[in-house]
Structures are given as C-alpha cells and as structure tokens.
Amino acid sequence: MIEQYLPAIAMILAGVGFGIVSVKAHEWLGPHRMTAQKLTTYESGMEPVSSAHERFSVKFYLVAMLFILFDIEIIFMYPWAVSFRALGNFALGAMLLFIVTLFVGYVYIVKKGALKWD
Amino acid sequence: MELIDVIVLVVKILIVLHIFLIGAAYVVLLERKVSAWIQDRVGPNRVGWRGSLQSFADVLKLVLKEDIVPGHANKFFHFLAPVISIAIAISVWAVIPFCSPFTVFGVEIQPTIAPNLNIGILLLLALSSLGVYGITLAGWASNNKYSLLGGLRSSAQMISYELSMGLSLIGMMLVMGSVNITTIVAQQGGYWFGWLPKWNIFVQPVGFLIFLVAAFAETNRAPFDLAEAEPELVGGFHTEYTGLKFGLFFLAEYGNVILMSALMTTLFFGGYHLPWVEDLPFFKDHTGLLALAQFGALFVKALFWIFFFVWVRWSIPRFRYDQLMNLGWRVMFPLALLNTVITAIVLAAMKSS
C-alpha cells in the first residue's frame, strides 16, 4: 500500500534537496560585501516609511475563507466522479441536490457583494 | 523494494530533473526568441550558436551574484520561500507518464516516477496548491510593501482559479472513471468510429477551455501576471530577492509552464499517444523505439502549448484586478459547475438508453 507512495515522496525530497543545495551554494559562492544601504528595504529610492506588516484589505481574507468553503465542497465531488458508473442514478440525484444547494450559497455570496472588487 | 527498483527510481528521478532544468532553460530562451520575433527584434544571439547557451550564461551570472537579505526581512521565511517554490515545481513531475512501458536489459521500465499511484490528479492538485505558500511567504517575509501587495494579489488569484481548475477536471474524471493519470492516458489510446483518436478534448471541450484559462492564472503568466505587474509593483513578490534565489522563482515559473503544457497534453490531448502510427506492426517488436516515438509525440504536443503560453503573453494586455476576480468567480466557477452537471446527466442518459 505504502509502496506506491514511496517514489512520489522520493521526488518531493529530491525537489526540496535541490532547492536547499542551490540556495546554500549561492550564499557561499557570491561575494559578501554588506553595507548599510544594501540592507535597507527597496522603496523606489525613497527612505522606507514604516514596516510593511500593516493592515491590508479585508477582501483578501474573504476570498481565502470562500475558497476554503468551496474547495471542500469540490473535494466531495471527486470520489463521486470516480465511482460514477458504479453508483447509479440515486447518487446522481443526490449529487445534483448537493450542487443545487452549493449554487444557492454561491448566489447568496454574489448578491451580498462579497465578490465585488472596486 | 528490491535494489534494482531503487536504482531504476534514482535514475528516473535524475533524468526527470535534467529534463526539468534543461527544459526550463530552453523555454526561457524560446520565450526571449519568440518575443523578439513578435516585436521584430533579434533577441539573444551572442552566447553560443544564435544564443543557444544564453540561459546557462544567465544562471552562471545569477549564482555568482551577492546574496542580499534585507535587514528587516524574516530571514528564515525569506530563505524558505524560493525552496518551496522550486520543490513544488519539481515534485509535481512524479505523476506525468512520458511513454508506454518498455524493456531495457530485461528490466521492464515504467516511464513514470510514481507509476501506480492511484491518487495521481489529487496529488498533483494538492502539490500545486502548495505553490501558493512559496509566493505568499516571499511577499510577506521580504517586509517590503511592493512584495506584500504582489504576494497578496497572487495568493488571492491563485486560490480563486484553483476552484475552477479542480472543477474543470471533474467532467473529465466522470468520463474516465479514474484519477490515476497512467490509466487516463491509456484509455485515450483507442479510436471512435475507427479513426478519431479517443482524446478527452472531443468530449470535454468546455472543461479544457476552463482548465486552459486557469492554467494561465495558476502559473501567474500574462494576461494574469498581476503578482509581478512591473509598472505598479516593481517586481512584485520577488522585489527583494537577488541572485539565484530570484533565479529559483524564475525557474519555478517556467517549470510550471512546462508542467501545465504537459498536463494539458496528458489529460486532454492523448498524452504520449501517437495516433494511427503507433498501431503499425513494426512497433509490436520494438518497444524501445515505440517509447522513443511516443516521448517525441508528447514533446511536440507540449511544445505547442508552451509556444501558446508565450504567444498569449506577448499579444494580450494585462487584466485589471477586479476583472480578474470577476472572471474567476462569476464566469469560470458557474461555467465549470454547469459543465460537471451536464456531463453527469449526459453520461447517465447514455448508460440507461
């Protein structure tokens, strides 16, 4: 069972290893002549004003939350799609009911203006 | 696992890594040459024959540049972000089949790194959604306003289009009845009416169109490259990255372009199948030659989509951010849902009739 996952895990490790080795090699090979000016934050030649870790638009949080909701709903459809032939028409009806419910929620979000960017 | 399996696995990983790196280098060159051609310029032509070694010279230059980490940046996440990006871009290649199985020195080779993985597409979607972390962390850890804005924009964009991407594949799964990519490609080998290849594009054109648009958004390519819109955000999430750390983001972007092209070919255009030609009796006894021909077919089909990515980038202007989000949520998402419903109903009707 676990055997089929081992090659994929090996590939992930190869990717992480490649990333770490190349970044470390770059840190080691490049010159090291730090000055105070190089360490400042880039702000198009102006003196940097305050930190960048400030409040940002609430829209981004909204999109992230909606994404999690809808993505989980979509994950429910994958097992149904794979065994569609075996499940028959009852499962089709149940999934249509589910999609209609999902779509009503989607229409509610759109009408509320949660997806409006201006 | 026996020793021979381990050796075969290591060799396969090394080969795929080289395909990835050399492929990305030449796709960068292709992009520069094609953009020069579209804009009536010459393009890189100094390093090697007609600039053929330009990308390698660029990599050498990037490696030898100074590594600057801004004083206010979060050092650990600043280091981690490019590593995540490149690790994801490499590891998704584990599920792509390159040709049909063949035999070398009496060992049967499955030309996929993880051949029997029955969660193929799920692993692919899961890994590629982790790619958001690389870009968001890069934007946040740099502690730079341009980077933060680029990272935020890009994360919102990528997760929005991921919904449509996930949904657009459900119609294809309904037809195929599997998420194992090897099986999906194998099922596309036959013919309808005896001559039309059984490619998914003919049964799922809308699904493919949604997947294509989502692929552009997922790879942060023009016309959806809001994350690095250079007139407004300097460089976006990689403003504070120098040398090879920037190079890794760049490599990951082009790696993802190649991956998406290979994926579109694999899922919708018959993958490595070479219609009509591969059924010739000659290939029955020469599985090695067949594998080579099929790899060539995959390469040519993917190359067309890579060219398409470049072509679109240099032809179409950038979207505005509200247009981008509207397209993702109000057009693509309902359309993908409708595609799923219609596919399911048609399949059920065909089964009962």
* A43–B173 C-beta distance less than 8 A: no
| pLDDT value of position A1 | 67
Instruction: Please answer whether residues B57 and B25 qualify as being in contact, where contact means their C-beta atoms are separated by less than 8 angstroms.
Output: no
Residue B92, domain extent: 69-352
Torsion of Cα atoms, A78 then A83 then A85 then A89, to 10°: -70
Q: Look at residue B21 and tell me if it is in a domain.
A: no
The minimal CB distance from B170 to the residues A3, A78, A89 is found for A78
Taking CA–CA distances from B163, the nearest residue in chain A reads A71
In a domain, B32, yes or no: no
Tokens matching residue A22: 């190349």
Model confidence at A48: pLDDT above 80: no
Residues 6+ apart with CB under 8 A from B13: A10, A11, A14, B113
Q: Do the Cβ atoms of A8 and B94 come within 8 Å? A: yes
SS3 assignment for chain B = CCHHHHHHHHHHHHHHHHHHHHHHHHHHHHHHHHHHHHCCCCCCCCCCHHHCCHHHHHHHHHHCCCCCCCCCCCHHHHHHHHHHHHHHHHHHHHHCCCCCCEEECCEEECCCCCCCCCCHHHHHHHHHHHHHHHHHHHHHHCCCHHHHHHHHHHHHHHHHHHHHHHHHHHHHHHHHCCCCHHHHHHHCCCEECCCEECCHHHCCHHHHHHHHHHHHHHCCCCCCCHHHCHHHHCCHHHCCCCHHHHHHHHHHHHHHHHHHHHHHHHHHCCCCCCCCHHHCCHHHHCHHHHHHHHHHHHHHHHHHHHHHHHHHHCCCCCCCHHHHHHHHHHHHHHHHHHHHHHHHHHHHHHHHC
Could you report the per-residue pLDDT of A50-99, keeping only the tens digit for each?
777 778 788 888 888 888 888 888 888 888 888 888 887 888 888 899 99
Mean pLDDT confidence for B7-17: 86
Distance, in angstroms, between B157 CA and closest chain A CA?
9
Please judge whether B166 and A4 are an interchain contact, meaning their C-beta atoms are less than 8 angstroms apart. Answer: no
Count Cα neighbours of A89 within 13 Å in the Cβ-side half-sphere. Answer: 8
Residue B205 lies in a domain: yes
| B88 assigned to some structural domain | yes
A109: pLDDT strictly greater than 70? yes
Nearest CA distance, B297 vs chain A (angstrom): 25
Per-residue pLDDT, averaged over A22-40, amounts to 82
Query: Torsions phi, psi of B16, nearest 5?
Result: -65, -40
Q: How far apart are CA B244 and CA A61, in angstroms?
A: 32
Q: Which residue has the higher pLDDT, B194 or B147?
A: B147
Question: What was the pLDDT predicted at B240?
Answer: 82
pLDDT score for B152: 86
Q: Which of A67, A64, A57, A58 is nearest to A106 (CA)?
A: A67
Task: Give the separation between CA A23 and CA A16, rounded to whole angstroms.
Answer: 11
Considering Cα of B262, then B310, then B136, then B321, what sign does the dihedral take? negative
Q: Do B84 and A102 touch (CB under 8 A)?
A: no
User: Mean of the per-residue pLDDT values for chain A?
Assistant: 84
Mutant choice from A67, A72, A75, A104 vs B, greatest count of B C-beta within 10 A:
A67
- Asked whether B252 and B259 are in contact (CB, 8 A), the reply is no
Closest CA to B161 of B210, B229, B90: B210
Residues B86-128: pLDDT tens digits? 999 888 888 888 877 777 777 777 777 777 777 888 888 888 8
Task: Report chain B residues whose CB lies below 8 A from the CB of A18.
Answer: 17, 86-87, 90
Contact check, Cβ <8 Å, B82/A60: no
Chain A residues with CB-CB distance to B162 below 8 A: 67, 71
Quote the CA–CA distance of B54 and B57 in Å, as a whole number. Answer: 5
Mean pLDDT computed over B294-305? 89
Q: Give, in degrees to the nearest 5, the angle at Cα B234 between A41 and B220.
A: 120
User: Is the separation of the CB atoms in B286 and B262 below 8 Å?
Assistant: no
Q: What is the pLDDT of residues B145-186, one digit of tens each?
A: 888 888 888 888 888 888 888 888 898 888 888 888 888 888
- Who contacts B238 (Cβ-Cβ below 8 Å, separation ≥6)? B138, B147, B150, B228, B246, B249
> What pLDDT score was predicted for residue B307?
92
Task: State the average pLDDT over residues B323-332.
Answer: 86
Interface test with A, best of B16, B88, B90, B149 (most A CBs within 10 A): B90
- 3-state SS class at A54: coil
Per-residue model confidence as pLDDT tens digits over B217-242: 888 887 887 777 667 777 778 888 88
Q: Cα A25 to the chain's mean position, in Å?
A: 29
Residue B1 has pLDDT above 70, yes or no: no
In this model, does residue A4 exceed pLDDT 70?
yes
Q: Is residue B49 part of a domain?
A: no
Q: How many independent structural domains does chain B possess? A: 1
- The residue written with tokens 């980490």 in the block is B69
- Structural domain contains residue B13: no
Distance from CA of B277 to the nearest CA of A (A): 31
Q: Are B275 and B197 in contact (CB under 8 A)?
A: yes
* B18 Cα distance to chain centroid: 16
Specify the amino acid at residue A7: P
Q: Which residue of B has its CA nearest to A2?
A: B117
Distance CA B51, CA B26 (A): 11
B108: Cα separation from own chain's centroid: 28
* Residue B38 Cα, gap to closest chain A Cα (Å): 31
Please name the member of A7, A32, A60 whose beta carbon is closest to the beta carbon of B66.
A32
Give the Cα separation of B209 and B190 in Å (integer): 23
As for the ipTM of the complex, it is 0.87
Instruction: Give the residue from chain A lying closest to B342, CA to CA.
Output: A96
pTM for this predicted structure: 0.90
Q: What residues in B contact A25, CB-CB < 8 Å?
A: 63, 244
B30-60 per-position pLDDT tens digit = 999 998 999 888 888 888 788 888 888 888 8
pLDDT greater than 80 at residue A22: yes
What one-character DSSP code corresponds to residue A53?
-
Domain annotation covers residue B200 = yes
| Tokens matching residue B125 | 């979607």
Residue B123 Ramachandran class (φ > 0 left, ψ -120 to 50 alpha, else beta): alpha
Asked if residue B275 is part of any domain, the answer here is: yes
Query: Does B346 or B110 have the greater pLDDT score?
Result: B346
